[in-house]
């Protein structure tokens, strides 16, 4: 099991802070908390895995906190989910412009928040964990830094989505990943894609990397569960 993910909650409403903390802790996360913007910036230096950031705070507001988090080299890659009662589209756009990864509008269900957290964490992991080394899987050679793929010495041209799927499978080698997991990690917010499309991408990927795509040895199907990259 992975080490617990650490999440910083920045929220000045005590009851809401308690509620979110409760749900995160029972879902297996470690929680840090801040109730104003400056404290949030200070604690974000400890590099939590994700920040849940309320917009209406006393002192520095969430917009400014988000801007400063993105400006600081130590914290610029930490995923941020903005939390607010401001539901207008222009506010969402402002959040994304400032580098927020997702946006949750109050009132929200804890379940919705948890789903978004999981999705943002998966996506962040997939972005950052490509290793700077050559990985061999069967007759495949994957250069983790450039993410170029060679099969029996020949470079294989992959689309961005195929690379994303392969990277996610590689980062979770030997683990069965469901359609939903793949959707969250590779498509993230733009997941207006039907489950069937994932099968199509996997089929294309197999045609490019498997000796016999009809009987795949690298990306195998686990019936009713998903796919995995064999160790
Ligand atoms: Ca607030």
For residue 10, the CA-to-ligand 1 centroid distance in Å is: 9
- For the chain, give the percent of residues with pLDDT over 70: 90
CA of 230 to the centre of ligand 1 (A): 47
User: What is the domain range of residue 170?
Assistant: 134-229
DSSP 187: I
> Looking at the structure, do residues 103 and 13 belong to the same domain, yes or no?
yes
Asked if residue 17 and residue 118 are part of one domain, the reply reads yes
Residues 180 and 105 placed together within one structural domain of the fold: no
Q: Which of 106, 127, 148 is the last residue of a domain?
A: 127
One domain for residues 52 and 153: no
Q: Categorize the per-residue pLDDT at 1 as very low, low, confident or very high, splitting at 50, 70 and 90.
A: very low
Given this model, what pLDDT does residue 26 score? 96
Distance 61 CA to ligand 1 centre (A): 9
Q: Considering the domain boundaries, does residue 84 fall inside one?
A: yes
Residue 17 CA to ligand 1 centre (angstroms): 10
Phi, psi of 37 (to 5 degrees): -65, -45
CATH classification of the domain holding 143: 1.10.10.10
Examine the domain organization and report whether 53 and 104 are in the same domain: yes
Q: Which tens digit of pLDDT belongs to each residue from 140-184?
A: 888 877 778 999 889 999 988 898 899 888 888 888 899 888 887
Look up residue 190 and give its DSSP letter. Answer: G
For ligand 1, the distance from its centroid to the CA atom of residue 96, given in whole angstroms, is 19
Centre of ligand 1 from the C-alpha of residue 77, in Å: 24
Number of domains in the chain: 2
For residue 86, give the CATH number of its domain.
3.40.50.2300
- Is 184 found in the same domain as 138? yes
- Name the average pLDDT for the chain: 87
User: What pLDDT does 58 receive?
Assistant: 85
End-to-end CA distance of the chain: 18
Handedness of CA 69, 70, 76, 79 (dihedral sign): positive
Rg over alpha carbons for the chain, rounded to the nearest Å, is: 20
Whether the CB-CB separation of 176 and 192 falls below 8 Å is answered with no
> Looking at residue 195, what is its pLDDT?
62
Mean pLDDT of the 217-221 span: 93
Q: Is residue 1 part of a domain?
A: no
Shared domain for 166 and 61, answered yes or no, is no
| 115 and 139 inside one domain | no
CB 197 within 8 A of CB 187: no
Structure tokens at 112: 């919705």
Which has the closest alpha carbon to 208: 168, 159, 164? Answer: 159
* Last residue in a domain, options 110, 127, 144: 127
Q: Does 67 share its domain with 121?
A: yes
Q: Which residues contact 17 (CB under 8 A, 6 or more apart)?
A: 9, 11, 33, 35
Residue 111 sits in the same domain as residue 41:
yes
- Strands of 154-156's sheet in order across: 134-137, 140-143, 148-151, 154-156
The DSSP element (H or E) to which 33 belongs, if any, is: strand 30-34
Q: Give the Å distance between the CA of 56 and the centre of ligand 1.
A: 4
> How, if at all, do strands 154-156 and 134-137 pair?
unpaired
In a shared domain, residues 116 and 88: yes
Report the residue count for the chain. Answer: 231
| DSSP 3-state percent helix, strand, coil across the chain (nearest 5) | 40, 20, 35
Q: What is the spatial distance between Cα 67 and Cα 146, in angstroms, rounded to a whole number?
A: 29
**pLDDT interval class at 191 (50, 70, 90):** low
In sequence order, the 6+-apart residues with CB closer than 8 A to the CB of 96 are 103
152 and 186 in a single domain? The answer is yes
In a domain, 195, yes or no: yes
**Top-confidence residue, 47 or 173:** 47
Using CA atoms, how far apart are residues 166 and 173, in angstroms rounded to an integer? 10
Residue 99: inside a domain, yes or no?
yes
Identify the domain boundary among 79, 103, 127.
Answer: 127
């Amino acid at each position: 099991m992975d080490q617990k993910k650490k999440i910083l909650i920045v929220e000045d409403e005590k009851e809401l802070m308690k509620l979110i903390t409760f749900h995160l802790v029972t879902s297996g996360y470690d929680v840090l908390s801040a109730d104003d913007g400056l404290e949030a910036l200070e604690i974000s230096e400890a590099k939590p895995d994700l920040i849940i950031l309320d917009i209406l705070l006393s002192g520095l507001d969430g917009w400014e906190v988000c801007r400063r988090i993105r400006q600081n080299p130590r914290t610029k890659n930490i995923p941020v989910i903005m939390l607010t009662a401001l539901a207008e589209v222009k506010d969402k756009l402002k959040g994304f412009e400032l580098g927020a990864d997702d946006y949750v509008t109050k009132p929200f269900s804890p379940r919705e928040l948890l789903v978004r957290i999981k999705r943002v964490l998966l996506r962040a992991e997939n972005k950052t964990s490509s290793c700077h080394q050559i990985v061999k899987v069967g007759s495949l050679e994957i250069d983790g830094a450039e993410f170029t793929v060679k099969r029996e010495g020949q470079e294989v041209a992959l689309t961005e989505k195929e690379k994303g799927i392969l990277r996610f499978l590689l980062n979770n080698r030997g683990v069965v990943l469901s359609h939903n997991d793949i959707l969250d990690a590779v498509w993230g917010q733009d997941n207006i894609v039907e489950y069937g499309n994932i099968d199509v991408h996997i089929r294309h990927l197999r045609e490019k990397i498997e000796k016999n795509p009809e009987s795949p040895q690298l990306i195998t199907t686990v019936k009713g569960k998903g796919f995995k990259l064999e160790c």
